[in-house]
Amino acid sequence: MDLITQKVYGAEDILPADSYKWQFVEDIMRGQAQSYGFKEIRTPVFEHTELFNRSVGDTTDIVQKEMYSFTTKGGDNLSLKPEGTAGAARAMLEHKLFAAGYPIKTYYITACYRYEKKNFGRQREFHQFGMETYGAASPFADAEVICAANSIFDRLDVKNISLEINSIGCPDCRPKYHDALKEYFGAHKDELCETCHSRLERNPMRILDCKEKKCAEIAKSAPTVLDYICDDCKNHFEGVKNCLDAVNIEYTVNPNIVRGLDYYTKTVFEFVAPEVGTVCGGGRYDGLIEELGGQHTPSLGFGMGIERLLILLEKQGIALEQPPECDIYIAGISEKGKLKAFELTEGIRNASLIAECDIIGRKLMPQMKYANKIKAKFSMVLGDDEIDSGKAKLKNMLSGTEKEVPLDENFYDRFFAIYVNGANDTFMEKLGLNIQD
Ligand code: ATP
Ligand code: MG
């Protein structure tokens, strides 16, 4: 094949053989979000670049190096969203969702774009599931979103995923910590990477998050944020821990978690698995809404990488529910037979079963081969004989038994009866029938 082009570097196609995994995981995410009272918000894939500069923060790697930014023909400076929170927060403000009262609880499933080097669990287009709460200052709100994220891992039976939490203080207490970090890292300046040199002046906490080996080594002995936070932040952190203890969610306090975005205050957390590193990261961002021009609105949330979650599930050998297979294939071997097959197939689909017939003009043998390939549970062959006699044989593909069915308006009742009789529990469930009835 001589294709004119291929997919963009760092982007991935999700093919039909794998898309069920995404659907399965996304269904669990939606279900859990719903259980916790969160409603979906969908925002555009691009925003005015200014939004990310202000919310994600212009000292972050994302804004400095990773954003897909461009100028439109009309002269607007836009960027593809590198994360989900900024757009959701903007929309919340723009549509005055706060007017209906707090808390506001939203979730999203979105593609994100970051100009990063492709690597294991790292792409340029990737997907995040995220949950956000606006207008909640209490530690119960922090614990609620942590529990929600945790519940998704539980539902998926993920093993060995650890929750690491930290508090990074607030604008009152953080400057003191920044000073301590500047002093400490300043003494090791020569050993730090190029990027960390600029971090040292502008945002020293970010050095704790550097992925360069030598910086990470030095960061290990850096002053600990928890020694610097104020009483309010301390009490809040204790409150979060108490809530997690109350519902038996295990965690470790890791003072090196600072998160990659500028907007975090107080609680930050990550769910980390040895196989893929950080799958989910989040925390509180009490200053974000004001930064975007709104009233002071304590808020928080998390983003979970769906690709990394799927890699983790695969590495742990967790099988996801396969999509249902074809219930019936109706083969047609004459013009009239093919037309009848088309008509009956359509009728069966109206009952929410899965039915297929020939759409590419095959002869009988290849049609039956196809029926086997798609694992049809029943099959039927319609030719002129069947049309003339008004009867056909319905075959159970598993047992091989055949039963006669009429081709008039009674076909559906007869088919469903046979189908249910020879059915296992899943068929029954699908039809909304109970064998005891
Ligand atoms: P990392 O430290 O791995 O770069 P991050 O701190 O930049 O992650 P966040 O911005 O907090 O990540 O995004 C939340 C989650 O989104 C991450 O935990 C991860 O699962 C996922 N994620 C982030 N960047 C990528 C990427 N380039 N490709 C795939 N998943 C990603
Ligand atoms: Mg990153």
Percent pLDDT > 70 in the chain is 96
Average pLDDT, stretch 113-125? 96
Q: Is the Cβ atom of 281 under 6 angstroms away from ligand 1? A: yes
CA atoms within 13 A on the CB side of 37: 10
pTM of the model: 0.91
Q: Is the Cβ atom of 81 under 6 angstroms away from ligand 1? A: no
Give distance in angstroms: CA of 268 to centre of ligand 2.
Answer: 15
Give distance in angstroms: CA of 281 to centre of ligand 1.
Answer: 8
Q: Whose CA is nearest to atom 15 of ligand 1?
A: 305
pLDDT in tens, 3-41: 999 999 999 999 999 999 999 999 999 999 999 999 999
pLDDT in tens, 145-191: 999 999 999 999 999 999 999 999 999 999 999 999 999 999 999 99
Percent pLDDT > 90 in the chain is 87
Say how far apart CA 376 and CA 233 lie, in whole Å. Answer: 60
Average pLDDT, stretch 128-133? 98
Q: Whose CA is nearest to atom 21 of ligand 1?
A: 305
Query: Binning pLDDT at 50, 70 and 90, where does residue 437 land?
Result: very low
What local confidence, expressed as pLDDT, does residue 198 receive?
86
Give distance in angstroms: CA of 327 to centre of ligand 2.
Answer: 45
What local confidence, expressed as pLDDT, does residue 263 receive?
76
Average pLDDT, stretch 227-235? 96
Q: Which of 93, 89, 91, 129 is nearest to 112 (CA)?
A: 129
Q: Is the Cβ atom of 60 under 6 angstroms away from ligand 1? A: no
Q: Is the Cβ atom of 204 under 6 angstroms away from ligand 1? A: no
What local confidence, expressed as pLDDT, does residue 125 receive?
98
Q: Is the Cβ atom of 279 under 6 angstroms away from ligand 1? A: yes
Say how far apart CA 60 and CA 188 lie, in whole Å. Answer: 21
Q: Looking only at Cα atoms, what is the longest distance across the chain?
A: 94
pLDDT in tens, 39-52: 999 999 999 999 99
What local confidence, expressed as pLDDT, does residue 435 receive?
45
Say how far apart CA 305 and CA 309 lie, in whole Å. Answer: 6
Q: Is the Cβ atom of 414 under 6 angstroms away from ligand 1? A: no
pLDDT in tens, 268-318: 999 999 999 999 999 999 999 999 999 999 999 999 999 999 999 999 999
Cis previous bond, 103, omega within 30: yes
pLDDT in tens, 207-227: 998 889 999 999 999 999 999
What local confidence, expressed as pLDDT, does residue 151 receive?
98
Q: Whose CA is nearest to atom 3 of ligand 1?
A: 278
The residue whose CB lies within 8 Å of the most ligand 1 atoms, and thus the one to mutate among 80, 117, 125, 126, is 126
Q: Is the pLDDT reported for residue 412 higher than 90?
A: yes
Give, as one character, the DSSP assignment of residue 355: E
Q: Is the Cβ atom of 303 under 6 angstroms away from ligand 1? A: yes
Say how far apart CA 207 and CA 376 lie, in whole Å. Answer: 57
Instruction: Please give the number of the atom of ligand 1 that sits closest to the Cα of 260.
Output: 6
Adjacent-strand bridge partners of 40: 107
